[in-house]
Amino acid sequence: MVTDKRRTFGRVEELPSGRWRAYFKSEGLRHNAPVTFATKTDARLWLDTVRTDMTRGAWRAPLSTRYSLDDYATQWIALRPDLKESTRDLYSSTYRLHIAPLLGTKRLDKLTPDQVRNWHQLLAADLSGKLGGQARSRTATARNGSSTVARSYRLLHAIMQTAAEDELIQSNPCRIKGAGNAWSAERPTLNLHEVQALAERVPHHYAALVHLLVWTGVRIGEAAAMQRRDLDTASDRPTLTVRERAYRLQSGVIDLDSPKSKAGRRIIPLPPHLVPDIDAHLNQWTGESPSALVFTTSTGGSIISGYSQVFNRALNHIGRPDVRVHDLRHTGMTLAAQAGASVPELMRRLGQSSTTAAEGYLHTTADHGRAVAERMSELAAKSNVIPIRRASGETA
């Protein structure tokens, strides 16, 4: 462990993890920074800030030299340099809504596996609606809330793992096997008649958006950031290029950025039947500039803030209040799988680097299995396959 002893106030030391710890002594007590730092410079800057506060009389000694989970987690989220703003915003919201209420005041070094298990059970019960008299969280992303529970656990696990690696705690108390994986039930889908009914029910400038979400599987944030130049409908092989996505931060600011992963930047082949609808929309609702947003509100603003209300009203009207906008993506990927898309092709359309989500769309239903069997027979007939005969000469 390397320690910088040249400073007149405080010390910084490099930990085995490669990160830096800062600390100082006041009235005989050692005070550690609530987080560790990526660089020595960052650790020194923290000490300089504390010293300035002391000079101005603004510094107050903490009640304990050990920090709460709130102290550490807040800094962990705020100071990580590798996070996109949308991810930082999501982490902040997830921590504030789902972790802090039960665990935030716990001392970082006193958080036990039993407390983590209790928090996990209560959160799962709350988001699934099983806690009597308590409203289910609006942030649940699956019908049983399991996606939110899994995301919250992954965040807590990552925070505590960093604390363990930086020797602020002895070991990570998050030890629930499989808790980072969602166990959500099958998402609802629309049939093709319902897709058409939805497109006819939404405002006219949203009709093409309905079809695009279904037949390409893009996310609503990707559609909200789409520009005229991202669509090539004039070619005999029409395509859609996903370059950016829009995300509404808690502050109300709309963040435009590249997709979170390399796989998110992708080119999606457009089904030919979709091209006339897209062209009609571009001609009527989209500006002529290559950078003009393809889909906007009636006043020309971003659709990312109010799309859910528009779609929810239309879905209620067609008798499908159980469906959400994200389920249109699920509908489209299910149709693609039934049309014969392979796992790699589904991954490209989804913009994901993991096969897990893509494989989920390849589940076999009785109707789909029958359609596959019938197509196999059609192939056999076209190829003049000779029927198998038994040794006795009877046709099998």
3-class DSSP state of 3: strand
Please work out, in degrees rounded to the nearest 5, the angle formed at the alpha carbon of residue 253 by the alpha carbons of 252 and 258. Answer: 130
Q: pLDDT for 13-47, tens place per residue?
A: 988 888 888 888 876 677 888 788 888 998 899 89
Give the mean model confidence (pLDDT) for residues 241-250: 85
For residue 138, what pLDDT is reported?
37
Angle at 344 between CA 340 and CA 345, to 5 degrees: 50
- Cβ neighbours for 372, distance < 8 A, ≥ 6 positions apart: none
pLDDT in tens, 121-166: 999 888 876 655 444 433 334 456 788 899 999 999 999 998 888 7
- Residue 59 has which token pair? 């510094």
Please give the pLDDT value at position 385: 45
- For 128-141, the DSSP string reads TT-STT-PPPTT--
Query: Tell me, what amino acid is at 7?
Result: R
* Pairwise CA distance, residues 201 & 224, whole Å: 20
